[in-house]
Amino acid sequence: MIKIVLIGIQGSGKSTQGNLLSEKLGIPYLSSGHILRNMAKEKTRWGRYVKETLNAGILISDGKMTPIMEEYLKKPEYENGWILDGYPRTLKQGKDFKEKIDLVIYIKVSDEKALGRLNLRSEHREDDTTEAIKKRIESFHTLTEPIIDYYRKKGILIEIDGERTIEEIHKNILERLNNG
């Protein structure tokens, strides 16, 4: 049983690598962004708040986010481990999250590279606008970088060079997992 978290700037390949890893290891994959994009379709006050927040490229509040993720992880399919994509992504979320994480994989990609990839993304995402992308980059540096340091100090962080081909990165992640 292994509990893995993927961290990286928008466009770093968290979802791409998370899905590949999930298939390879046979461990379920869960993306906070995916959960939120589904919630954004709800015709409720909450749904509208999520839609507006996502489209603006701003993070959903920590107080709302942690209970959503903890609720999902109670489902039986996550009992024997999981791969989380996009959560925790602030220091507060990291400290509030009750689950014990075995490994955090930080996929390192420059702002420029990440930007270029989002322009090429085939899946249509309402938050892939210039303004929202700028905000998401900004929040990665101000809000997510501190949690990377937090996990590094805990000794559970591995850093992966994300500026290579999808296959090379996948191989590299598997090597790092096998070498402890």
Summarize as ranges the residues that interact with ligand AP5 (CB under 6 A): 8, 10-16, 32-33, 36, 53-54, 57-60, 65, 86-87, 89, 93, 117, 120-121, 127, 136, 165-166, 169
Other Cβ atoms within 10 Å of 45 Cβ, number:
8
CB of residue 137 vs ligand AP5: minimum separation in angstroms?
9
Amino acid letter for position 119: N
* Residues in region 44-63 near Mg ion by CB under 5 A: none
SS3 of the chain: helix, strand, coil, percent, to 5: 55, 15, 30
Find which of ligand AP5, Mg ion, none residue 178 binds, CB within 5 to 8 Å per kind.
none
Instruction: By CB under 5 A, tell whether 10 contacts Mg ion.
Output: no
Question: Among 5, 7, 9, 15, which residue sits at the site for Mg ion (rule: CB under 5 A)?
Answer: 15
Amino acid letter for position 71: E
Instruction: Kindly state the tokens that stand for 9.
Output: 């700037």
13 neighbors 165 (Cβ within 8 angstroms): no
Interacting residues toward Mg ion by CB under 5 A: 15
